[in-house]
Chains A and B, each alone.
Chain A
Amino acid sequence: MNISLELMLQLTIILPAIGALLIVLTNSKPNLRDAVTLTTAAILLFVVVNLYSGLASDQQITAFWWELLPGLTISFSVEPLGMLFALVASFLWLVTTCYAIGYMRAHKERNQTRFYCCFAIAISSVMGIAFSDNLFSLFIFYEVLTLSTYPLVTHSGTREAKRSGRVYLGILLGTSVLFLLLAISGTWHVAQSVEFKVGGVFSKDIDKTLASILLLLFVFGIGKAAMMPFHRWLPAAMVAPTPVSALLHAVAVVKAGVFTIIKVCVFIFGLDLLPQLPSSQFLLYLAAASVLIASLVAMRQDNLKLRLAYSTVSQLGYITIGALLATPAGVIGSTMHIATHAFGKITLFFCAGAILVSLHKSNISEMRGIGRQMPLTMIAFFIGSLSIIGLPPTAGTWSKWFLLMGSIDTEQYIIMLALMISSLLNIAYLIPIPFYAFFPNSSSKSSPVAERALTNVQIKEAPLASLIAIIMTTLGCLFLFIYPQPLYELAAAIIETRE
């Protein structure tokens, strides 16, 4: 096959959109529809991987669609950060599709066509975000992503889903319209450009107060990064079916948020200007507070998905911190954390969904002893937890290492302390889950639930398709520990292009 790289770049966005159309057309034949979804995901992954190998050849890959308004275009280009995000998202889409087919059927969910269709549109917009060449096209895909995931969040159509949908849409659209749009418009006004440029778009002598305000508008406007106090949508979105929570709220949506933050920090403000702004220090402390508070809140959640959601809020804070530190190590750490956290968190969500499907349990207090029924799932959960905490032999180790380095480089010892305390808190709220799953009697009081679980030992894993997905992401966590080079190289390339 001899397709030019430019075409491939556009295909990453068009393919899932075509997939969405085909999914609607094959509505009446569930098997064919699921096959279409899987095939689209596989082809997309293939295209993105090809694009990745094209990136190595050191040529500029760009594509131009059209000029929406004078000077404001929808155009795309491939750069390492976007490449990494696209790789992670497209790979995990394939895995999640696999998982979703098992989950949705076992759970006998309704409106599956709408589900897969919106899913594909969401991925299409994620690709658009990853490869956007300027803030303006990024903003457009950012909004499309919000709207296309709204039907996924409110999938069940219950009263609770409706309420959560309100929070979801209210915060995400609200912040983006109120702050992000203003920030983009302001940037356009100040710099006459919204293009992502190495070293930033602002001139050296820009008014620091103005730039500070713009930075605040950007960071608060990117609600998808779930920085406190605009994080409420993420726990609210947990009413969605688990595959949605897994891909969208551990990978696509939230990572689109932090990805945008890194993009803005590196390519709009530039690593030279950023540390000079008074608001960046304030935002660092706010992010650190967000990391700690979210971890503390996570400890108090009994619902597994909610606990994972707050854990995500906390981990996203890490990425924001790394970007705001504006040092090579910080940016590398953030970038790698996008990938490593994605693999870790999606594993945990998959496990949570598997437990729900097989044992119909969603609260942690009911999960004592389930290790005997679902050994593979709980081992995967354990490995995923390690990765989130950042312990070897899992991928999370590397990114947390670089983030700590970054905070030491800049002598931000308070930040460093916050990161370390939060890692301890991670241990406290994640490890007990697999621990009690395998050793239900290790604490003094044993609940009747646990005893029944002991007497009724029968292996009851999730559907095969879902199990395969869990194993794949778990192996991913381990693999990225042993072989983090490609990840590191992509992250480092972002810094190199600076010079």
Chain B
Amino acid sequence: MIEHLAILQVVLPLMAAPICLVIRRTQLVWLFTLLVSGLAFLISALLLQQVMTSGTISYEIGGWQPPWGIEYRIDQLNALLLLIITSISTLVLVAAQTSISHEIPAAKQNYFYILYLLSLTGMLGIVATADVFNVFVFLEISSLSAYALIAMGKNKRALWAAFQYLIMGTIGATFILIGIGMVYQMTGTLNMYDLSQRLPEVAQTRTVLTAFVFIVVGLCLKLALFPLHLWLPNAYTYAPSIVTAFFAATATKVAIYLLIRFVFSVFGFSFSFSAIPLQPLLMALGISGIFIASTLAIYQTNIKRLFAYSSIAQIGYMMVGFSLGSVAGLTASLLHLFNHALMKSAIFLALAAVVYRLGHVRVSDFQGLGRQMPITMAALVIGSLSLIGVPLTVGFISKWYLLSALLEKGWWMIAVLVLLGSLLALVYAWKVVEAAYFKKPIPNKRVVTEAPLSIQAPLWILIFANIYFGIDARLSVQVAQSAAQSLFGVSL
């Protein structure tokens, strides 16, 4: 059993999805989905533990030896990603039943869970597999289900948002597929490890260079790097709250993972950073993403959209760390990837609680919520503090590591810019806090009470994690560091 964990992780939610159709009763479907996600979480925890103690796990599907068969390969990097995805997915699912009861018509709720499971399958598959074509397959599974999930939003504009995402996402996926095809044409293999061995021989050809550019651009579309982020704000704003909480923490992270994987493991660090000016490009886009997206966030009146822009800005930070091309920089990026998943899922869950009570999350709706929903608002404040990067929260840990990585390279000016960017976070996050605390509730107009426990419980677990990993960062730092080191040290 234990040696099949790597594949079980992906197969479990995939098999569970059609079973949901048979169960039919929504309540049971929810419990079943939760159970499956919880099991996946357990598996990923076991995998991480196994990887940390005994090194990389390689699994051959159907016993076919790689590079002919499909290989699943779990090292520190994707073990960390698997853990992030499954843990957030499970926590968010706890709140799902309550939250979607107000947002999705009863007849469609079963489909919601099915799509959710498929989307989860796709993400886990992308992360676990070591076969580039397999990556594309799972990318499509997760994307297609994501489009459908977003289209389920209550607002009619959700359809338009989903369509927008569909177009952009498909372009991205096509680019990636073109890249993969070219690489296959040049090397005749699809296995990542095999590719990393064969690519250097043909590294000087124009085809490989083109393939690399196609893949990088495609991935940047998927991970919503500024200025390829246009699909993201609408998608996050109009999707059902639960979907936003889940995707904000995982979807873009998976794309970032792929970028790291392709750049470091498949094409190799020295090729990637010398073939095209990746460093200045990503650095410039990252920094401008931080500033432009944060500034746009300040002017939003819909709070879900505000935090959606904030997500784009946070991706900028990860790109800055990534573009440094150093162990410290990559560690900072991976740490922020983990930490940002914690903050954003917490924040969007808190917003889900507000949507559950009020129906929408415009800034003006927040009037007096500090009194009416004190517990949810307290969680939102802590989440925002974490986003700003106040000490004793995870945000600070990310910031410190990014700063250290920048200073190690001697890039003081970029360090100043990064810190300035986090001040913008203060501005937009505080806008929400002021709206909630500094105005009296609208009298006699509405009765708002605290959100139910089913949303509060996962929310506060996430908030607790935000503080816990901000105080005792040894675990997350160790995993991120060893993952970064192994990416630089020995290629896959």
Contact = CB atoms under 8 A, between A and B. Distances in A.
Interface in B421-461: 422-423, 426-427, 430, 434, 437-438
A76 to B, nearest CB: 16
Interface string B377-411: 00000000100111110000101110110011000
Contacts of B412: 182, 186
A140 B392 contact: yes
B419 A182 contact: yes
Interface of A: 66-70, 139-140, 143-144, 147, 154, 157, 159, 161-162, 165-166, 169-170, 173-174, 177-178, 181-182, 185-186, 188-189
Given A70-B477, A181-B403, 13 more contacts: A68-B471, A139-B391, A143-B390, A147-B385, A166-B430, A173-B423, A177-B422, A178-B419, A181-B399, A182-B416, A185-B400, A185-B403, A185-B404
A70 B420 CA distance: 26
| Chain B CB within 10 A, most for which of A66, A166, A170, A182 | A182
B419 A69 contact: no
Contacts of A173: 388, 390, 423, 426
B292 interface: no
Contact of A162 (B420, B434, B471): B434
Contact of A144 (B389, B392, B408, B427): B392
B186 interface: no
A178 B418 CA distance: 9
Given A143-B391, A177-B419, A182-B415, A169 B426 contact: yes
16 contacts: A66-B471, A68-B471, A68-B472, A69-B397, A69-B400, A69-B473, A140-B392, A147-B385, A157-B438, A162-B434, A166-B430, A169-B426, A174-B423, A177-B423, A182-B416, A189-B404
Contacts of B420: 178
Nearest to B381: A147
| Chain A CB within 10 A, most for which of B400, B412, B472 | B400
B374 to A, nearest CB: 11
A68 B423 CA distance: 23
Given A70-B477, A143-B391, A178 B400 contact: no
A189 B419 contact: no
A170 B401 CA distance: 23
In order of increasing CB-CB distance, the 10 nearest A-B pairs are A140-B391, A189-B407, A185-B403, A162-B438, A178-B419, A143-B391, A174-B423, A143-B390, A177-B419, A185-B407
Given A185-B400, A189-B404, A189-B407, A178 B416 contact: yes
Contact of B389 (A157, A174, A177): A177
Contacts of A166: 430, 434
A68 B422 CA distance: 21
A22 to B, nearest CB: 19
Given A68-B471, A181-B419, A144 B391 contact: yes
A182 B413 CA distance: 11
A68 B390 contact: no
| Chain B CB within 10 A, most for which of A68, A144, A182, A189 | A68
Nearest to B404: A185
A144 B415 CA distance: 23
Contacts of A170: 426-427
A170 B472 CA distance: 28
A196 to B, nearest CB: 18
A67 B401 CA distance: 15
A428 B408 CA distance: 52
Contact of B472 (A66, A159, A165): A66
B399 to A, nearest CB: 8
| Chain B CB within 10 A, most for which of A139, A169, A173, A185 | A185
Contacts of A139: 391
Contacts of B407: 185-186, 189
Interface of B: 385, 388-392, 397, 399-401, 403-404, 407-408, 412, 415-416, 419-420, 422-423, 426-427, 430, 434, 437-438, 471-474, 477
Contacts of A66: 471-472
A173 B419 CA distance: 11
Contacts of A186: 407, 412
B477 A69 contact: yes
Contacts of A189: 404, 407-408
A147 B388 CA distance: 12
A365 to B, nearest CB: 31
A174 B426 contact: yes
Nearest to B440: A157
Contacts of B389: 177
Contacts of A68: 471-473
Nearest to A162: B438
Contact of A178 (B423, B437, B473): B423
B389 to A, nearest CB: 7
Contacts of A165: 434
A139 B473 CA distance: 17
Contacts of B391: 139-140, 143-144
A239 B426 CA distance: 22
Contacts of A140: 391-392
A351 B403 CA distance: 46
A144 B472 CA distance: 17
A153 to B, nearest CB: 12
Contacts of B404: 185, 188-189
A188 B406 CA distance: 13
A69 B392 CA distance: 11
Contact of A154 (B408, B419, B438, B474): B438
Contacts of A185: 400, 403-404, 407, 415
A84 to B, nearest CB: 25
B477 to A, nearest CB: 7
A111 to B, nearest CB: 11
Contacts of A144: 391-392
A409 to B, nearest CB: 35
B338 to A, nearest CB: 15
A66 B468 CA distance: 13
Nearest to A157: B438
A182 B390 CA distance: 14
B430 A169 contact: yes
| Chain B CB within 10 A, most for which of A159, A161, A173 | A173
Contacts of A181: 399-400, 403, 419
B377 to A, nearest CB: 13
A170 B473 CA distance: 28
Nearest to B426: A173
B472 A147 contact: no
A159 B430 CA distance: 15
Nearest to B430: A169
A147 B422 CA distance: 16
B298 to A, nearest CB: 13
B340 to A, nearest CB: 18
A159 B439 CA distance: 9
Nearest to A173: B426
A69 B427 CA distance: 28
Nearest to A66: B472
A386 to B, nearest CB: 41
A109 B119 CA distance: 53
A396 to B, nearest CB: 35
A161 B434 CA distance: 11
B313 to A, nearest CB: 15
B118 to A, nearest CB: 39
Contacts of B419: 177-178, 181-182
B86 to A, nearest CB: 26
A70 to B, nearest CB: 7
B130 to A, nearest CB: 31
A161 B439 CA distance: 12
Contacts of A157: 437-438
